[in-house]
A and B are shown apart, each in its own frame.
Chain A
Amino acid sequence: QVQLQESGPGLVKPSQTLSLTCTVSGGSISSGSYYWSWIRQPAGKGLEWIGRIYTSGSTNYNPSLKSRVTISVDTSKNQFSLKLSSVTAADTAVYYCAREFPVIVGATALFDYWGQGTLVTVSS
């Protein structure tokens, strides 16, 4: 059973960089043709896809966040990470990591495993 667990600071100051890591257990992050994604959800609101990475290092980002987002992978640690720069209060949200199960190479896919989520608050 694949499990994902987010970790990182729960409080980030405005203008700084938010950094989160997702640790994958129960399977190798390098096995299979999966994408590894970040999704966020402000309190009381819907889901926003941030971006994803393939184990080759290939990435796709949401155009609305692209200029501020970097997603990377460390296959030796079975982890992938999110960096979001120049944060503001609007970036306060629960951040989820998830496995994306593709049906077509390169296309968007469905999410079959999710982390429990971690709340990140942007405040001075």
Chain B
Amino acid sequence: EIVLTQSPGTLSLSPGERATLSCRASQSVRSTYLAWYQQKPGQAPRLLIYDASSRAAGIPDRFSGSGSGTDFTLTISRLEPEDFAVYYCQQYGSSPPVTFGPGTKVDIK
């Protein structure tokens, strides 16, 4: 089972700033099968990025993903007020179970 760790646990930033979130896997992720989800309070997670760098339908281009192997990054180029949320990474393409990272909370400084 691949274990995912995310850092930092909390990121305090102001609107307009750049956010850089990290996701590290305990072993190499198959191909670039890494997804990022955004979750706002009281809502279900929403798929943002899949295959490490592909934006899901309707996701603004200020969200970008990169990485391979064991190290992945989600970047939000300029934070909008609606971007303050918790972000989870998830690896896929391996044998079950599905695993998620513990999440990074992006809050307003």
Question: When the two chains form their complex, are residues B103 and A60 in contact, meaning their CB atoms are under 8 A apart?
Answer: no
Among candidates B45, B93, B99, residue contacting A104 with C-beta atoms closer than 8 Å: B93
Q: Which residue of A lies closest to B2 (CB)?
A: A108
A32 interfacial by beta-carbon distance below 8 Å: no
A-B contacts, CB under 8 A, total: 73
Q: What is the interface residue range for chain A against chain B?
A: 20 to 34
B11 interfacial by beta-carbon distance below 8 Å: no
Chain A: minimal CB distance from B20 (Å): 20
What is the CA–CA distance of A52 and B46 in the complex, to the nearest angstrom? 19
Q: Which residue of A lies closest to B99 (CB)?
A: A49
A96 interfacial by beta-carbon distance below 8 Å: yes
> Which residues of the partner chain B approach A46 to less than 8 Å between Cβ atoms?
88, 100-103
Query: Would A107 and B44 be within 8 Å (CB), given that A37-B98, A46-B100, A112-B56 are in contact?
Result: no
B90 interfacial by beta-carbon distance below 8 Å: yes
Complex interface residues of chain A between 39 and 80 (CB less than 8 A to chain B): 39, 46-49, 52, 60-63
- From A11-19, A81-89, A114-122, the one touching the partner chain is A114-122
A103 interfacial by beta-carbon distance below 8 Å: yes
> Which residues of the partner chain B approach A111 to less than 8 Å between Cβ atoms?
35, 37, 45, 47, 90
- Which residue numbers of B lie inside 8 Å of A, CB to CB? 30, 33, 35, 37, 43-47, 50-51, 56, 88, 90-103
